Structure 1
């Protein structure tokens, strides 16, 4: 039987490959792209479970041989060929509407309508997932798609299909949180090094400084399909008081006794798989980390971040031509050579001008959907955190200057307020503000042109 299935598959691949326009002459091997397209046709035909597994494996192997041009061609083919059938959608909708007008609830017709409006691409991806090790391969495939579709907007429907399926496959019920330790597998350590984008690490020695001391922790979410490869990870420092500068958290220095700490600072949160962008794990991980660290160290009095403000500089330069005060502030910041070049009196004067504008940017500036324009603010405020304190200068790296002139912000996570503030944010777009940030927030919202959202930033808040 297995031999018969093998012959059947070989004949089917041969037939599919040869009947294409421009296919190789008989006797010549099919290209990887042709094999992949043929595999997809087989997967979408009436094929048995065992054969589906073999064909899916062949499809993923062929995909792995493609260069970027071949991948673009494959994505375009899938997007076009396995789209919804407009006639079927219209027909299914008409049957459902007719049933409702006749006084029926039309449950059966509604199910058929749901089936009709789902693109065949989603079924193709599900069937590809039958191959051994397919789920991580499909996550990588989506990472390729996201990279290659930046100048190909017609591929966005396929990305939406990937996101729809991956959100289901990687839902919270399948995730397992674990602490990463110096004894964790070396491949896991290497993965953290490669995917730390908020505060990149140069080598394993730098990673050791974030793992080894008693006042440092790293936690990650894992999924059965990815084994020891984390989906998202968060780095924690046990400190005294809210951190206001990033250097003490990253640079070598004396560790403190965890028993003397009063604050758990979550200073870096990273998605570790580019193909899972848009699948929300970070909020669950943060809340679980807070719960676990709080149980381990019940004397801690506060949990907070020291977060970047990645879109601020771009926003300021876009808004400056419309508001004279912002234009003067932007001009002074742009002509300075960084905070190191400013004398203490100039720093204080600049801080008094900059902090209210930063507060406005985080708490007042909104997108069309009513949520903050800053991606990191959306993430933490959407989790129910409170925008608490602005810090400048907090990060003197060139990258931080490019993002926010070196400014950072503390978001406080107060366990007894998270759920209520999350609901207020989701339902009413209410931004929770407190502490020193509230004190510098302008009382009235200044008139301004529509605030545009900055482009996507590297890394994850």
Structure 2
């Protein structure tokens, strides 16, 4: 019985905390004085952080339901605008159609540290949207505002080097998402003179990188990742810098998912490197293909292929299926992949060409491929046995790809991709 009383007391406390937070939301929207608004916003944020996980879920539900536009007022205003499409009616319709929660978020953003708090709120929201589709409109409001506030025009590009603050270097180690950084010695090598690291920062988050990219300065386009991340390797002299290879790009803020940052980062970095090192002639990537192995295991399907191409795709899949005896788990080690006969490796390479050159244009296409192709890169070269790490073997049978960034043609290639066409080299197109 005593435990029952304790549970009830806790629940009552949780309910009071949630009610207090919702009251703060209404007060903040109705407050006219800026000084009072800051104080209310500070309390509101503190109350949000104090909520338990299930309380946050309820708060988002209430924010979605109780702080949306008035449907009746929007309908009447829309009818008035349809009848008389003048500026006054349009302004009124736009005002009424905007959910009040957008203004609530703007007022929270005025608080010192408010931008960081809103990014954190969205991170918590994103964890729930897939399970609660009724929160999609609320998520759209967060994304709309953050996309404006994190417009690339507001972002600051900074080079990260060994003399950068230790706190920043620790964040680079922590947030590296493509090729794990194995401690300080590994990071030091990645910041040597033949390497570069650049990050985007926002004025409201001056000590927190939003996204960063790592670059290797090389004599030629790289075909495997191991030499690039070998912490025992020796730096190359500047007279060998002919190629800038982007080999890792990592987002640091999950709450900014969907906000376009990476495409602008790569272009800005390429321009910066071109100014610093005019001898650079090639800008490319060495990129993972994270969805490739899963697609092959699932049958390697591409919709709408002409008959001849469909037959070549089916034959390549049949070849690899026969080679592994119908069990792709046999290829779960670097040793097994190194032992594959040339015919099987050629078939696997052809499958990768279809996966990137055709399947990438579909909604379920590889996310890394879609990022680079939509960013105006050209599919340039496939590299078998390029990533023999456990992660590379599992995700792509160790296959990697080079995307080429021709700065004079990125807009043309981007336009092609928006119309379902992948810009690619002749060598890869010949595999289709």
Q: Does the pair score TM above 0.5?
A: yes
Show the counterpart of 1:339: 334
Structure 1: how far apart are the matches of 2:341 and 2:30?
Answer: 68
On the 8 A contact 1:259/1:297 being kept in 2, the answer is no
Alignment map for 1:17-416 (pairs within 5 Å): 31-99=16-84, 105-211=85-191, 213-252=192-231, 253-320=233-300, 323=314, 325-326=316-317, 329-330=320-321, 332=324, 333-342=328-337, 344=339, 346-365=340-359, 373-416=365-408
Where structure 1 has 5 or more consecutive residues not aligned to the other structure, the ranges are 1-21, 100-104, 443-461
Deviates more, 1:379-388 or 1:199-208: 199-208
Please give the secondary structure, in 2, of the residue aligned with 1:72: helix
Q: Is the 8 A contact 2:360 2:370 kept in 1?
A: no
1:205-248 CA deviation, whole Å, 9 max, x = no partner?
A: 2222211x211110011110001211111000111211111111
Structure 1 stretches of at least 4 aligned residues deviating more than 6 Å after TM superposition: 22-25
Q: What TM-score, normalized to structure 2?
A: 0.88
Q: Distance in 1 between matches of 2:362 and 2:261?
A: 24
Q: Distance in 2 between matches of 1:325 and 1:413?
A: 29
What corresponds to 1:430 in structure 2?
421
Structure 1 range deviating more: 115-124 or 410-419: 115-124
1:334 CA drift (Å): 3.4
Q: Is the partner of 1:194 in helix, strand or coil?
A: helix
Give me the whole-angstrom Cα distance separating, in 2, the residues matched to 1:291 and 1:82. 44
Partner SS state of residue 220, structure 1: strand
Q: Secondary structure at the match of 2:122?
A: helix
2:330/2:336 contact within 8 Å kept:
no
The number of equivalent residue pairs is: 408
CA separation in 2, counterparts of 1:320 and 1:225? 45
> CA separation of 1:166/1:321 partners in 2, compared to 1, >3 Å: closer, same or farther?
closer
Shift of 1:367: 5.4
Q: Deviations over 1:335-377 (max 9, x none)?
A: 3343312455x242221101111111111115566xx711111
Q: Is the 8 A contact 1:316 1:330 kept in 2?
A: no
Q: Which residue of 2 aligns with 1:446?
A: none
Using the TM superposition, give the Cα deviation of residue 91 of structure 1 relative to its aligned residue in structure 2, in angstroms: 0.7
Q: Structure 1, residues 306-357: CA drift from partner, whole Å, max 9, x if none? A: 011111122222235895752552562433343312455x242221101111
Structure 1 match to 2:430: 439
Contact 1:219 1:234 in 2 (8 A): yes
1:88-133, Cα deviation, whole Å (9 max, x unpaired): 121111111111xxxxx42211122222222222111111112111
Structure 1 position 420 matched with structure 2 position 412: yes
**What's the CA shift for 1:45?**
1.7
**What root-mean-square deviation, in Å, do the aligned CA atoms of Structure 1 and Structure 2 show?**
2.3
Q: Is the 8 A contact 1:320 1:330 kept in 2?
A: no
Q: TM-score, normalised by structure 1?
A: 0.83
- Tell me the SS of whatever aligns to 1:79: helix
Specify whether residues 410 and 342 from structure 1 end up closer, same or farther in structure 2 by C-alpha distance, changes over 3 A only: closer
Q: Aligned in 2, Cα 1:330/1:159: closer, same or farther, shift over 3 Å? A: farther
Structure 2 distance, partners of 1:190, 1:286, is 22
Q: Structure 2 regions of 5+ residues with no counterpart?
A: 1-8, 303-313
Q: How far apart, in 2, do the equivalents of 1:379 and 1:342 lie?
A: 28
